[in-house]
Structure 1
Amino acid sequence: MLKKNRSKLLSFFLFALTFSNFAFAQRQNEITQPKQKVRTVTIPISIFTKKELRENQADELVQAGNIIVKENGDEQTILSIRSVTNAPLAMAVLIQDDLSSNANLQLKDIANFIRSLPRGSRVMVAYLRGGTFQIRQKFTEDLEKAAKSLRAVVSNSAAAPSSPYEGVDDALKRFDALPAGRRAILLISDGLDTSRGVEDSSPTQSLDLEQSIIKAQRKSVAVYSIYNAATLTDNGNSRLILNGQGSLNRISEETGGRAFFQGTSSPISFSRFFEDLDLLLNRQFALTYLSTHLEKGYYKTKVNSTNPDIKIEHSQGYFYR
């Protein structure tokens, strides 16, 4: 796990480095451009060096370079970027109930991850089985209680959901009653959507997957996913495995999260994944900018750095309502 002092130092450094550029850009815009109608937008981003991602170890100082945000291809004016590393997090932990039995060996790692979340975080635990969404623990700030609500998966076909993304939709509804802030889903699943048949289970054909991405973007919920084989993928069918992993990768990438795999087989341990996830959560920032787009609808976002060694992860878009 990362040391908090390193995280704070990095946050300060990034802020000091980029804010001076933002302030200068704003002064230039005030001088050279006429006033126009704008609105304020805040999006979560994660900032890393490529070396950190390879070695899973945080550097104390990072040359973030100039941060550039584009909305529907148009560059926007950045107002601020601030660290939210120690801010509470609302997280729904979703576990597919027909995962292979080796998933039960990971319960301790999952519980320890829940306990390690920042103070004030809210956690919900639910299992995806058949056509139902079984909530073991509603959103609670009692992280120990949430961790203890975990149970062994059933590991048989009778418990298999036709689509794990129906469960994601159900979980997303539970965020409506929560205050604004960091929001995430941890989805432990094989990612395979067979609701319209095995032949239509690819990441580009799943309507449930598409709807889950749209709804998660609307609610600013990042989806982090861990692949583990289940009923239809435990036999080593490479086509189904790749369809499932591709679907997990798509929902994570397009919502600002990340998908974790260990080749095409079930991981021996989740511990390395949780180390990586801890790094991700410790590098989150709230980026606020002025948008020149005033019409309601969906907007694509792209955030880059002028430093080629920097990688910035974020949701690929949001809905303005």
Structure 2
Amino acid sequence: MSSFVAAQRGQPQQKSQPQQRPAEAPAKAADDQTISVNVDLVNILFTVADKKGKFVTNLRKDDFRVFEDEKAQNITNFSSETDLPLTIALLVDTSGSIRDKLKFEQEAAIEFFYSTLQRTKDRALIISFDSGVDLLQDFTDDPEKLADAVRKIRAGGGTSLYDAVYLSVTQKLVGQSGRRIVILITDGDDNSSRVSLTETLEAAQRNDVTIYAISTNSTAYFGSKEQERGDKTLKKFSEETGGKAFFPLKLQDLAGSFLDIHDELRSQYQIGYRPSNARMDGTFRRIRIDLADKRFKPRARTGYYMPKAGATSQK
């Protein structure tokens, strides 16, 4: 697997070697890296939208029911979250297939950082990936530093999508405070990773990371096997973690996808409950949120991993 190589300003960027693995993959030791849950309380961040996709922000606790493994749970905490601190990892596909699209990706990403980040409160980093995975800018609340890193992105070859997500979650986002977000700009293809999609999703779920994906597939590939496979991967990432996948018809629409992500991150709810099944057995627990008003649809992660007895958990 690739390992991070920081590209410091003023220093040449070195490409990481795909065959390297970090010291014992964290996903295999992730029992002590559980997501937004401790022995007593499970917290769920989620979004509600109407049939037109407009966010609904005026609902109350009594409007919701929560189920864990199809058993109703007693909601103990409820709040509307419009200003949570954000911790964002932007992952940009720099494989050869996106060479002609890079300018649009860069412009949209830079505008997103300037419009979204709140100084001293939110932080973001930049990672590029092709056959390797490179940390271009570590966490900062300065949009100008992020913009500088984005402008320096260059296209390469190969695609290590799963490695990039896995490493960003297990080496950078793990243990971070606030809402932990991955934003992917990619066509969804992967031909160089050493970890699997399943391992990558498990790492994201264990660490309470939400993944948003913006597809760079052009209309020239619509209907192709490559495009269908890539779209399926991006939907899987987002649906399993409570995020959303965007498929802009034109490259010029990338900025609109970033704007939608910005709006969603500031239009959410949080529910907390004490699970009726309190066994600390390390199993995956399925979560379902129901709304009394069927005109509206909630979107949340599909579940969480209960800590094992004796493991350290995160609140």
Q: How high is the TM-score relative to the length of structure 2?
A: 0.76
Q: Does 1:95 align with 2:95?
A: no
- Corresponding residue of 1:22: none
- Structure 1 pair 260–136 and aligned structure 2 pair: CA distance change class (3 A): same
- Give structure 2 stretches of 5+ with no counterpart: 1-38, 308-315
State how far apart, in whole Å, the 2-side matches of 1:245 and 1:64 are. 35
Q: Is the 8 A contact 2:94 2:128 kept in 1?
A: yes
- Corresponding residue of 2:146: 146
Q: CA deviation at 1:311?
A: 1.2
State how far apart, in whole Å, the 1-side matches of 2:47 and 2:248 are. 23
Q: Within 5 A, what are the aligned runs for 1:22-101?
A: 39-51=40-52, 53=53, 56=54, 61=58, 66-98=63-95, 99-101=98-100
Q: Does 1:288 align with 2:288?
A: no
Q: Secondary structure at the match of 2:204?
A: helix
Q: Does 1:277 align with 2:261?
A: yes
Deviation string, structure 1 residues 167-194 (Cα, Å, up to 9, x no partner): 1001012345643321110010111123
Q: CA deviation at 1:61?
A: 4.8
Match of 2:214 among 226, 250, 255: 226
State how far apart, in whole Å, the 2-side matches of 1:72 and 1:103 are. 43
State how far apart, in whole Å, the 2-side matches of 1:169 and 1:159 are. 19
State how far apart, in whole Å, the 2-side matches of 1:207 and 1:306 are. 40
Deviation string, structure 1 residues 64-107 (Cα, Å, up to 9, x no partner): 86201111111100012112221210000000112242231232
Greater Rg, structure 1 or structure 2? 1
State how far apart, in whole Å, the 1-side matches of 2:213 and 2:188 are. 9
Q: Does 1:164 align with 2:164?
A: no
- Corresponding residue of 1:26: none
- Structure 1 pair 122–83 and aligned structure 2 pair: CA distance change class (3 A): same
CA RMSD of aligned residues (A): 2.6
Deviation string, structure 1 residues 232-267 (Cα, Å, up to 9, x no partner): x9766711101001100111010010000035xx53
- Corresponding residue of 2:11: none
State how far apart, in whole Å, the 2-side matches of 1:59 and 1:320 are. 30
Q: CA deviation at 1:141?
A: 2.0
Q: Is the 8 A contact 2:49 2:56 kept in 1?
A: no
State how far apart, in whole Å, the 1-side matches of 2:82 and 2:238 are. 20
- Corresponding residue of 1:116: 115
Q: Within 5 A, what are the aligned runs for 1:10-29?
A: none
Q: Is the 8 A contact 2:89 2:126 kept in 1?
A: yes
When the two structures are aligned, how many residues end up with a matched partner? 263
- Corresponding residue of 1:20: none
Which amino acid in 2 is paired with 1:280?
A: E
State how far apart, in whole Å, the 1-side matches of 2:288 and 2:260 are. 23
- Corresponding residue of 2:178: 181
Q: Is the 8 A contact 2:67 2:289 kept in 1?
A: yes
State how far apart, in whole Å, the 2-side matches of 1:259 and 1:111 are. 19
- Corresponding residue of 1:202: none
State how far apart, in whole Å, the 2-side matches of 1:274 and 1:124 are. 16
Deviation string, structure 1 residues 126-168 (Cα, Å, up to 9, x no partner): 10021x211110011223322221036544xx5222x311110
- Corresponding residue of 2:310: none
- Structure 1 pair 317–251 and aligned structure 2 pair: CA distance change class (3 A): same
- Structure 1 pair 148–178 and aligned structure 2 pair: CA distance change class (3 A): farther
- Give structure 1 stretches of 5+ with no counterpart: 1-37, 197-205
Q: CA deviation at 1:39?
A: 2.5
Q: Secondary structure at the match of 2:151?
A: coil
- Corresponding residue of 1:248: 234
Q: Is the 8 A contact 1:104 1:152 kept in 2?
A: no
